[in-house]
Structure 1
Amino acid sequence: MRMLTFFKIVCLVVCLSWLPCRAQQVMVTKDPLLLADQYFAAGEYYTAANLYEQVLNPPANTRNDEVFPVYSKRGKLNYRLPKKVSREAVLYKQAESYRLAHYWLQADSTYKKCTDNIDALYWMAVCERSLGQYAEASDNLRQYLESTNTHKQFMEPAEQEWATLLYIKKQIDRPDTVLARLRKLTIPDSYERGTFAVTPIQGNQYLVSRTKTDSPEIKGYNPNNSHLFQAVLNNDTLTQITQLKLPDAGPLMNQGAANITANGNSIYFTQWQKQNGRVVSNIYVIKQVNGSWSAPQLVDGINTNGYSSKQPFCTADGKYLYFTSDRPGGTGGFDIWYAALNGDGSVGEPENAGRTINTTGDEQAPFYHSNSNTLVFSTNGRQGMGGFDLFSAQGNTITWSTPENIGYPVNSSRDDIYFYALEKNALLSDALIGSDRGSGCCLETYRINKLPKYNRMSGVVLDTRTHKPIPEANVVLTTPDGKTTQTTTDINGNYVFDNVDNSFTNENVAVSKQNYRDTAALVAIKKTDNSNLLTDQHFNTEIFIEKKFILRAENVVTVYFDFDMYNLKKEAVRKLDSVYNVLLEIPTATLQISGYTDGKGSNEYNAILSDHRARACAGYFIQKGIAASRITFESFGACCPLEMELINGRDNPDGRSKNRRALINITKE
């Protein structure tokens, strides 16, 4: 996987380093090849590529002792390469220059001319992958991997590139891509200047980073530098782009990648410059003072001498400042760090986000979405689609889930760096992405709207006593606003509600079934399966419903008891034995036993006595080997007399004796 230069990550300061349209004439007096190599070594790759072109195809009528203009028309060459330098070696160096400047099309066409260099095949595949030419990339990479040429230098990176191509195919084939709508924001001059790291100030006012040509130009230095701008975002168009007036930082200083605190009083931003061929960056802060911004100040504790810190992000709750740094104590390259953010704008001691987040590669541009407790960041240290991919991890400063690639089309086969989403929204419902996937010079801003996944909730209804599924039960889901949805359980007791809200807050499920007691319960999701990219399957806790005690005259056997007694009489035992025989003949038959008393005695006493009578009958069957699971019983006390116990005010003993009973209802299901 290619490594991204700092210029591309943080606004590609040298987006078009000394482009022909505005370049100075760099004059060569003896050896143009040496000068090209010097520009290459200094990281001025685009200028080096143009110099190599004029070495290969020098201007007409140029003698070796004449000055050699960098940007001149091609003509018949009069300049001759040194004897030890081949034309193909220069072509390869030119291809490398285009690639490192991220001019993929020019790099690819130039590598194709390097027919004697086996490694050109590998780099052609890298360029073609970056251009989205995946079939061509696969063909060239396969040739490289299968070649027996012993001069191959990039076998391990080539194998990683092959894995990247396989991953790209898997991502593009994801079914949930139909849920996403991606488009580039309409921004004046974005193609030439780039516009990235879009972050809100308030309302529809945003901070952005983009390149402008500083004036006056200083001879020998690139005049195109990154600066902070304010802009208005309406729908998909960025307008009213105005440079944020800050004290002059000097012609070599770049500013960008900013973020404002939750209270709106401070803006943290990155300021960087190139020193001795190396980009050095630091984090600065400006504060509101009497309605205007103060002069930039280095943020104490965040910046470390000899190392870079950049891309600050302030959390919505105002508690933390996240940033990127290659300071000591990390896992390798640039890591994600965080520090406590104080009300006065000062910060606490930085802490590394840990090895769950950081890799031996580079992590960039942290963004924390408090609404979903999600950290979004860019990295080239994990399997992705090429270059830098955006990843997400849920958690907080201490504990994080394993980062997951956000996937296509959020990510591309190029570099996808910056991310922003409003706190009130779901993470991907309306987000902004900084990416160089386009054909412009630099990182540009894209907007993505992704519809939520389809949510399905399922569950099962079971019998309280037997734990067997209950088919054909009516299940009603009620939301907090009173909206109801109804379904019926299948033969296995399962029910399903499609297209539900996945919050499940204060939602209620009510179950009704003939011969069962109506039951209601709050939704309590016990497990969610989100392996399907289009549908999240939520499983509700089991719902148990209890069978009603129902007497059917044709299946009822009645046994009687003496006054204030619950022992079984001979006649009662004879009847119970007949019921026992039915239970043996019909293994699925069950019993419902109810106990009663006459009207004498207190309600409390009669409840206990009737319970003893029901238990006596149940115990008889259990002693004879009938499973307790086939028997239910209830006590009703003096409830529901069959006969009158007082007639004309006089006691009716015969009526009372018929009310001292137990009813055995046989259910032959």
Structure 2
Amino acid sequence: MRRFVLILFFLLLMVPFGGHAQQYSTKNKKAIKLYEQASASFRLRDYETGMNLLLQAVQKDPAFVEAHMSLAHNFQLFGYLPKALEHYEAAVKADPKSPKVVGAYYTLATEYLKQGRYREAKEYALRFLSFHPEPNNFTNDIERVVASAEFALEAMQQPLPFEPKPLPGKVNREDYLQYFPVLTADEEMLIFTARRKEQGRDEDIFVSYRQEDGSWGEPQPLSPVINTAASEGTCAISADGTVLVFTSCQSRRGYGSCDLFVSYRYGNEWSTPVNLGANVNSSSWESQPTLSPDGRVLFFVSDRPGGMGERDIYMTMRDEDGRWLPAVNVGAPINTYADEVSPFLYANGKRLFFASNGHVGMGDFDLYYSDWHRGRWSEPVNLGYPLNDHQSQVSLFVTADGKKGYYAQEQWEGRRQLSAILMYFDMPPQLIPAEQTAYVKGVVRDARTGKPLKAEIELFNVNEDSLIAQVWSDTLTGEYLIVLNQGADYALEVNKAGYLMKSLSFRLKETNDTLRPVILDIELEPITAGSKFVLSNIFFDYGKYTLREESKAELRKVVEFMQQNPAVTAEIAGHTDDIGDEKANMELSLQRAKAVYDYLIAAGIEPRRLSYKGYGETQPAVPNTSDANRAQNRRIEFRIISVEKTGE
């Protein structure tokens, strides 16, 4: 809104009122008198009389520049854009080289770009620049018009495949406007914002579930603890569907007009929403959140002071204690002097889609993406035509596999919204991220009782020794979901106090791997004497016993396991396959077990709680009949010797 007011103020500066006859573009005294009477009426806020007098003035002299400019400005101010453009056109036709029509060139250029009249937009933009105005946001707008018109004309010659369809099922309802769709990684849950057409601006959050035939079921309000009588909407959901960040306006105590709140799902119930706090929200407007797959990183939009434009994209992270750190502006090259809105973080956590009217594009707001690479965001890429056209495109959600996009198709009549329905389409191959994702999901249970467990599940990139994702299985159901990215080796560590840790590995280092969802139920064994688990992510070079760097993430989790369970004493057991000399294998297994032992002792575990032993090839887990089996037999096991009773 501030930007719109500034533009109108700029145009008003181009409209002279009053003065002497020789200052006007006309010598028609009757036309001048009518114009000056109109000026007096405007000063008295009698706009209807003023407009009628101006119309009479241009009838007396159709080349009266000042009268056309004043008419155009007022028609634009009151929302009659076609009439405004008509009079701007008349003004520049009457005197194309007059400085008085600079504002007309500005509006004609920017509005014709929005209408897809690219050649006219470029022509008027170049005429504006021919006056050599001082560089400012208005010249930035015009330079964008020139570049955008050229881009659009070229993009339309090479259209991308784009065949959007309404979502199948009952999700779209004629009496509702529905928009801003988001999905879980398994595409089983769809959450979106909607409002009744006759209810003004009061929004609610709805949920729909995938049916067996692939369609979407009847939408239902998400939760009575989230929706209120005021407005809740534009939400983000974690990949597993357990963390929801949403916008709430006026209905809850907050810091500004609209704030961001978070709620957590336990089974089928949502927790009471909590304001994300002063590190995220401000006295201004915050909305349009998007979450990383594990819910630890949040991007959102704010119009707070100190940004680069009217609305900017900001980012914050949740620390180990669950607190959100102070939000920071993501800066250039994403944010511009204009508006950036509707961020969406793709499931790989490295591609940010967003809408902007400050980058080169097809019209008003276009969709773009930027990739995180080597600690910075890449120059934004326009998604191209016809995903973008001269109309505004302001939201996009891309499924975790990168193959489908979801958005809202809106229809307007002037400023009145007629419809908004949820659509989906096959992503053009050119836009599917090279680093794709899949997911692992299942249920965590007690191995003996079958009872669902809440457990911590962490995903580590073993090549970079970095934590990629951290989620918890559901307290009531034990369900979990975690996203895997192509292009790395991963360690999946599952931990719960009182249970043996579970160590799994996923090898996705080759980017040509075919990624498919993995359904994996995890059974955790209670800690008892004699129980054991394999450390699946401990690595040695062939025939060597020096720990490789990729082992560090798993070793740290073993340290945590011992710290969480101080009553445990354990043996670290080394095993080999049957290749090579039996005596050499025994020694190799002993030295590998000792390497793990030494690391844990150095990390502070008391020596009395640990021992180590090499078993060589004497205790194969599976027969040594294939390379795959031999790989399983080359292992480090962690065996519980005793669980000391604590004093009560």
- Look at both structures and tell me which one has the larger radius of gyration over its CA atoms: 1
Relative to the length of structure 2, the TM-score reads 0.46
Relative to the length of structure 1, the TM-score reads 0.45
